[in-house]
Structure 1
Amino acid sequence: MPSTELWGRLHPLLVHLPIGILLFAVGLMVYGRLKKLDVEAAVSLAWGLGAASALLACGAGWLLAQSGDYDADMVARHQWAGLATAGLATLTFLLKQYRWPVAFITVGLLTLAGHYGGNLTHGQDYLFPDTRQLVEQEPAAQPAIVSQPTALQTDSVDSRDKPIIRRTFLYRDQVVPILKTKCYSCHSATKKKGGLRLDTEVFIRQGGKNGSILTAGNARKSKLFTYLLLPEGDDNHMPPKGKLQLTPQQITTIYHWIQKGASFSEQVDTLQPTRSNQLVALADVIPSLPLARSADSSHSIADEIGPRPISLESTVLARPVDAASPTTLARLTQQQVSLSKLTDGANYLSANFVNVKTYSPALLAALGEVGAQVVHLRLSGQPVTDADLDPLASLTNLTRLNLARTSITDKALTALTGLPNLEQLNLYGTAVTDEGLATLARCPNLKVVYLWQTKTTPEGIEQLQKRRPNLKIDTGTVQLARPDSTKIL
């Protein structure tokens, strides 16, 4: 790396020196005035150091701007505000009689320069996002629009034999929101890291300094997708380590969009009204995609990606469901139960008891009243007992359940065998024994179970694995994933 480029990259570090020192200088002036102390020597030293560090930061900033990765107009505003700050800081250092007014003007310019710098780094809407615009766009964020929505709710073919017209605009409704929240801060008109912009079709097709990032119809050859799967420590992993990462569902969305041809316009499909089409008209918009465990090479990525069956959760979320009772939801939220929608435009919910201060079985009974809508449930850390889980029988669409560090025993697991869509179960830190594992074997579609710090034995786990060879069992001895709620809820 050239030395000039290295100095440029030090700008975000160096720029904090004048900010801290100059604010300290003003604070020292105010303190000396209030306490009637002679701090003139210390104040002069602080202003001198602040001015010198401001000039140093300006130099590094100028070198960084030469990369061309940032919007020229925004760079100019930040640059001139920074130079003015450095100049006035120097003037304040030299002045004796008129130091106070110049000092406060310097602080004002310092604030303005910092604001412009923040816009360059995080985007113009980082501090004051346009919430009105987000609210207006929210209704459009739906996976698909079907001209005959009632057809999805029936179990029989429409007697009128009318075709189902499905309109999808994956790029606008699904891809753009992902790019906006996870990519625009570094790849947009404001900032063009690597010469790449992702805010318009033209620039996405154009690629960046290292060439094309999109191969329509082939996600495996598209850097826009494959870089998402690289280990976070890899220099090419996107978003970079430390930034907010894409969720598995968001990565799946990018994959499916590219595989479908990376269309930037609305698509219209005509489906004949068969039972299977009616049930999955929405589910096939974003199918389940297993993420690569390793991305050391393009071969390993390709091995991990391919046609896989749609997960139960995807199938559940594809079915229409009525909205939950507002009265019941209000009663739950008043007791600090966190309820959030899993997808925009749908009524399925995730219920989280982590903030509940005074737990009572009545809360689970109330949750049973909206059982059709609850897909994820987290009860970890609450004093839930075996009898409390009886209302879960009505949660027929539940796919993920977190019972970590609750007071349940083997008896509670019997209630779970009747949940047809349960795929992931966290029993970390519970009193479950080998007897409970025998019960778990009867859960029809269980795919992952976490057994950290339970009372199970290696022999019992081995027996469960024999009965359910495809079940992933995490006991903590092999680090598949630490059993916390971020993995399964």
Structure 2
Amino acid sequence: MLKISSIRSFLESTLFVWIGLTLIITLAGNTLVLPDWLQVVGRSHPILLHFPIVLLLMGLLFFWIPGIDKKPEIREIGEISFLAGCNFAGITVLAGLILAQEEYTGEILTWHKWAGLVVFGGCVILYFFRAMQAKVIRISSVVLAGAIIATGHWGAGLTHGEDFLLAPIQSNNIEVVPLAEAEIFGDVVLPILEAKCISCHKEGKIKGELRMDHIEGLQKGGKSGPFVLAGDFEKSLLIQRINLPLDEKKHMPPKNKAQLTDEELLILSEWVASGASFEQKLVTLPAKNELYQLASVKFEGNKIYSFDAADQDDITELNTSFRSVQPLFPESPALDVSYFGISAFPPESLSDLKMVNDQIVQFSLSKMPLAGIDLKFLKDFKHLEELQLNFTELDADQLKVISELNTLEVLAISGNEIDSESLQNLAKMKSLKKLYLWQTGLSDPDQKSIQKSLSTTEIDFGFDGKGIIYELNSPAISQAELIYQDSLELTLSHPIKTAEIRYTLDGTEPDSISSAVYSAPIFVKNTGKIVAKAYAADWKGSKAIEAVFMHSGITPSKFSLVYEPNSKYKASGAATLFDLEKAKTPNLGEKWLGFQDEPMVLEVGFEKNADKPKDVSISLLYSEGSHIFPPSKVSIQGLENGKWNQLASTIPTPSTKASSARSELLNFELANTNYDKLKITLTPLAHLPKWHPGAGGKGWVFVDEVIFNK
């Protein structure tokens, strides 16, 4: 068995090794090139540091034992423990100095580094001068113990954040930001970055030279490129890294960290797509903007309901082609029920809602033909807060029933004639916070009367447009799906009942004279694009709104791509083009195939005796801000008798400005069907136009579906 003296001698000798190596690395700094294998030693720093802390503190306790000078055996145990702690302190300091050369920097690192050196130096001095007066030793041991604690605190700040130690006792009060004051970056994007990213990109730990704990660092970017570029998914480091496969080394957050949710991914993508502003207010975005819809929920102060949720099977059963039943917001027991489609409205279906009487909080029957229908069933909705009954031909008896709904906070009955009796009943609804009375035939005295009776209610009578011509808002287009098999119902609607909706189905913009007038749902059996505008007397026509619809006809028996799509935008390869799943515009890496350096060349074949398609539709994405442009040329060729013949071609209209991301559809009628195979070529733009910030660079072509029909 080794003698204590031999152990002491060995530990004292190794101590000088650690001192020498520490001096070399400290003095050499970043000029010293260390081999890669030493990174393993450096990364063991968080594991090693526990040994010296325990051994040093235990050794320091021995200095406080009364009369220890008269107890040589106990004193020797304390000294050996302290000496072993000094050795582990040296090894830990060396590992920390190696680790610090990776991607750590900042003020906290400096404090942690020098405090660690002080602890190592202090314990070495204290060991070799342990024969000093007991009083001096004890004071020195207290100072050293304090240095050990401080070093550990700064180390925890590096790995867990500066407020890690005191976080449990700090205030958890979260300031509620009103929607009108919420900023897109500060109140929506930054909390995501703080939760999932900043721990590896902050002072003291700046991986990839990217610092994310202040805006200046984000604007500067990292060593691999800019953090974000407005509207540019390709060059934005953030979008590149979060969309990489999880197993990719550069995927962020690293796969051993908490990953971004689908909603967080979409918010970050939409932030970049909408301009990546660090100062823009959320309310400046259009109400239909996907980022606004996702983020505004956070600031609307979702109400907490104490009643039980409805059975999920009941909710599923109640969702039909004419009725929607959905939670007010995720995980809420409160339900929002809406009816749509006048021609499909079955009044008897209202009795189906008995199974969710206790959960309905918002209910809409706007534009449904309610004449003669008994509305007393509304009284069974115990928690009804919002009722939408615009343009429903309500009579006085029905309005009386409505006036007795004491839980209502929001009532919209625009487009219904209100007589004096109904006005008196409405005046009793003191619980109302908002009341919408557009086009109800109320005179100025009537309006003043109801305002006086409901002095705390916000009442909207619409506005008088005399002498001012306003532009109508665009109509809404509703369709159950984008890609369908048999036929598809398209419905158009507008909040102003008297507005006339005109539309086209060939992709051209409708006018107020020759275009078809919408009067009933439209049923289509082909592939195309509907474009609609609203017109009304004394109003400017609305902006056009459009939507594509694709009929899934003939499926090729075999298909292949001559050139593979870009590795960042490869989805499921050629199969993506025929999976009948329409891609969403923000999720560039999921369902879109992207081509830049090579054209998309698709070759397809069909069953030998089957009918050959004579129509081809190609679904594309345009997003000029992300360098995604219309193809410079589209060519469709047919292989006949071993020769490729031109069947259709076009040069799409070039983009003249950057617009928001949108789906586009190119339709082609083939010259003949006497072919064995088809070849479809989409050629990317070779040089971006002069008006574009990336002028001269290559454009992208993004495609997600190719549809064939007879």
Task: State TM-score, norm by structure 2.
Answer: 0.35
Q: Would you tell me which structure has more strand in proportion to its own residues?
A: 2
> Greater Rg, structure 1 or structure 2?
2
Q: Would you tell me which structure has more helix in proportion to its own residues?
A: 1
Relative contact order higher in (CA < 8 Å, ≥ 6 apart): 1
Task: State TM-score, norm by structure 1.
Answer: 0.49
